[in-house]
Chain A
């Protein structure tokens, strides 16, 4: 099986995409081409350290910037629990820091909604199913910070 054929087959399905820069994008794959350029819909972007989230209705990513695609088909319930814990934590943090700005990547196209990392979008991830056709979407994988790359303490992976 060719990787590009698999990607074509994944159209319409939820997937996780990681950029070489470390940010992850969770969304539904709308389309892709032979350069691996992809179009995602209903996207949640997660910062490299896994503790900031942004939501955007549509997102187009150049293939050359990508490093990894993942389907979220074999995630265990424990991952979802981790995700919920992370979201709870972020909600608490965002109560005290409501002035966060989204990254350039969200603003550059002029379509990303400028939300301040606040409770509203975070709740969206937690419910998962409300705009994802019942399948839900997970937040990105955390890669940890300088303390190590265990990824388990800050990032979450999951599906609704």
Chain B
């Protein structure tokens, strides 16, 4: 990540967003603003469960409202390609309680 505290350095990169309701959405960052509203293109949701592997749901072009964003992570595609999603088991993340 380069300088600056915003999300400029992540534009056009694949990011992994964790929302306040505990969802994990992965896509290309196309834009953002001061309020952390986010434009995600070619996005999909990764649904974690303890009973089966990670399910990926295709979403498409999305805007996520900033006050629903917890974490924006830069997805390391190299690391990600080595993950076997079908073997990952986990509880869904808890929602954020303010």
Contact segment of A51-59, A67-75, A99-107: A67-75
Write out the residue numbers on chain A whose beta carbons fall within 8 Å of the beta carbon of B67.
Answer: 64
Q: Does B49 contact A (CB under 8 A)?
A: yes
Contacts A4-B33, A67-B19 given; indicate if A76 touches B63 (C-beta within 8 A).
no
Most buried by B among A2, A5, A63: A2
Are B21 and A3 neighbours in the complex by a CB distance under 8 Å?
no
Q: Which residues of B contact A152 (CB under 8 A)?
A: 55, 57
Least CB distance, B50 to chain A, in whole angstroms: 8
CA distance A2 to B58 in the complex (A): 23
Beyond A1-B30, A20-B21, A150-B49, whether A36 also contacts B65 by CB under 8 A is yes
Chain B nearest CB from A93 CB (Å) reads: 24
Give the chain B neighbours of A148 by CB distance below 8 A.
Answer: 49, 51, 92
- Asked whether A70 and B62 contact (CB < 8 A) given A3-B38, A152-B57, the answer is yes
Closest residue on chain B to residue A79 by CB atoms: B58
Q: Find chain B residues with CB under 8 A from A30 CB.
A: none
Q: When chains A and B are docked, how far (Å) is the Cα of A67 from the Cα of B21?
A: 9
Other-chain residue from A69, A72, A73 in contact with B63 (beta carbon distance below 8 A): A69
Q: Is A116 an interface residue (CB 8 A)?
A: no
B17: min CB distance to chain A, Å: 10
Residues of B within 8 A of A67 (CB): 19-21, 64-65, 68
User: Which of A2, A76, A79 sits near B33, CB closer than 8 Å?
Assistant: A2
Contact with A along B13-53 (1 / 0, CB 8 A): 00000011100000000111100011100100001010110
| Given A4-B33, A148-B92, A150-B47, 19 other A-B residues pairs in contact with their CB atoms under 8 A | A2-B33, A3-B31, A3-B33, A3-B37, A3-B38, A5-B31, A6-B63, A67-B20, A67-B21, A67-B64, A68-B62, A68-B64, A68-B65, A70-B60, A73-B61, A74-B42, A141-B57, A150-B52, A150-B55
Q: A residues touching B (Cβ–Cβ < 8 Å)?
A: 1-7, 20, 22, 36, 63-64, 66-76, 79, 141, 148-152, 157
